[in-house]
Structure 1
Amino acid sequence: MAQSAITIAYFTVVEDERTGWTGGLLLLNGGGRPLEFQCTLPVRPSRAHEILFGPTLRDHIIGEVIGPLLVKKCRTPIGFLCCDQPESLIISQTVSYPIALVVEAAELEEGPITDDTLIGSSEVALAGSTLRVPMEQVDAVRAMTEKLIDLPDAIEPFERIREAIKEAQSQIARSQNVPTPRIADAA
């Protein structure tokens, strides 16, 4: 079948007690083949950050630090972005393309996703999975997903990102013994 010209990006962040928070963004073509991959070095918030951000630290690191950095670094235009962590949805405030939460992937990662989690969103189907999309972006996402008939799976790319992050971290650990970077000045 002909490949769609629409690109679909996948974004997730892996938290590890030892190394910190590492984000990855995988951009795929309509058939699920990789076009570009970006990942961050591990980020370790300082104790001051943990205190100052309190229960919003996770939102800050995922949606305001790592996510915007990765989408800005991406050289290939993104059609829409799929995430598996609700905290990622805040990226929509800094980009012009739609962002969707892949419900089944989020539930594997975060636990049950309720309608209260995503007030003002609607469901769109993609490759056997359910996307939660802000109401104002539903038509645009639905139009794109209808063209992504060759995409084999909407959840599996998150696993590719996690495996690539593990591999990158192991390569870094083998090549150098450098302390993990910390977030620079907060807010």
Structure 2
Amino acid sequence: MPAPTNPTIGYFTVIQDDRTGWTGGLLILNRGGRPVEFQCTLPVRPSRAHEILFGSTMRDHLIGEVIGPMLVSKCRTPMSLLCCDQVESLALNSRGDIPVALISEAAEGDEGPITSDMLMGASQVALVNATLNVPLERADVVEGLVKSFEDMPDAIEPFERIREAIREAQSQIARAA
């Protein structure tokens, strides 16, 4: 895959709040780390029946099968690479041509920080101040792509921008209600 002329990097995360529900955000940045597009979902609140039926797989379902695909499909800007901080997001690798990488330094799961033994079958690629975990079959493509993003000031910080933007959107909704 040749390097795109205007590569973009996406950042995807989901926030779970007992009061509001599950809200996903997707921030797309240019080579220098500036925003190109932002999308977020309205909060998703599973019913008690959903919680019972999905059980321990609810988190996997919401992040990797509901919220993530919805946000990616809404994007108008083509992404070269999609970075995530939740292991459940790696399910997006099977849904398209965009390589999906888990950033080790930002990754957290239900049980706390993600460890390398939880990511068997993943290759590690360096991006600025972060380690990307990518499926072995996508490692060569990602290694070629990260060279386009060497000017980014920080590869982890965009997740905080998403969380802040979601909190701001939620507070605006609360004020309007």
Scaled to the shorter chain, the TM-score interval is over 0.9
User: Does structure 2 retain, via aligned residues, the 8 Å contact 1:84–1:109?
Assistant: no
Q: Which residue is 2:121 aligned to? A: 120
Q: In the aligned structure 1, how far is the partner of 2:79 from the partner of 2:19? A: 32
User: Does structure 2 retain, via aligned residues, the 8 Å contact 1:84–1:103?
Assistant: yes
Which residues of 2 match residues 46-57 of structure 1 at below 5 A?
Answer: 46-57=47-58
RMSD of the alignment, in Å? 1.4
Q: By how many angstroms is 1:53 displaced?
A: 0.4
**Offset from partner CA, 1:83-136 (integer Å, 9 cap, x none):** 000000001111211000000001499633223321210100001110101000
In structure 2, the CA distance between the partners of 1:148 and 1:166, relative to structure 1 (3 Å rule), is same
Q: In the aligned structure 2, how far is the partner of 1:169 from the partner of 1:32? A: 24
Q: Which residue is 2:89 aligned to? A: 88
Counterpart of 1:63, as a letter, is G
Which residues of 2 match residues 54-93 of structure 1 at below 5 A?
Answer: 54-93=55-94
In structure 2, the CA distance between the partners of 1:109 and 1:155, relative to structure 1 (3 Å rule), is farther
TM-score (norm 2): 0.94
Q: In the aligned structure 2, how far is the partner of 1:75 from the partner of 1:64? A: 20
Q: In the aligned structure 2, how far is the partner of 1:86 from the partner of 1:43? A: 19
| Structure 1: segments with no counterpart, 5+ residues | 177-187
Q: In the aligned structure 1, how far is the partner of 2:127 from the partner of 2:162? A: 19
Q: In the aligned structure 2, how far is the partner of 1:108 from the partner of 1:114? A: 10
User: Does structure 1 retain, via aligned residues, the 8 Å contact 2:101–2:132?
Assistant: yes
State the 4+ residue runs in structure 1 displaced beyond 3 angstroms.
107-110
State which drifts further: 151-160 or 102-111: 102-111
Counterpart of 2:117, as a letter, is D
Q: In the aligned structure 1, how far is the partner of 2:18 from the partner of 2:83? A: 25
Q: By how many angstroms is 1:149 displaced?
A: 1.2
Q: In the aligned structure 2, how far is the partner of 1:32 from the partner of 1:57? A: 32
| Structure 2: segments with no counterpart, 5+ residues | none
Q: Which residue is 1:26 aligned to? A: 27
User: Does structure 2 retain, via aligned residues, the 8 Å contact 1:20–1:44?
Assistant: yes
Q: Which residue is 1:182 aligned to? A: none
Q: Which residue is 2:145 aligned to? A: 144
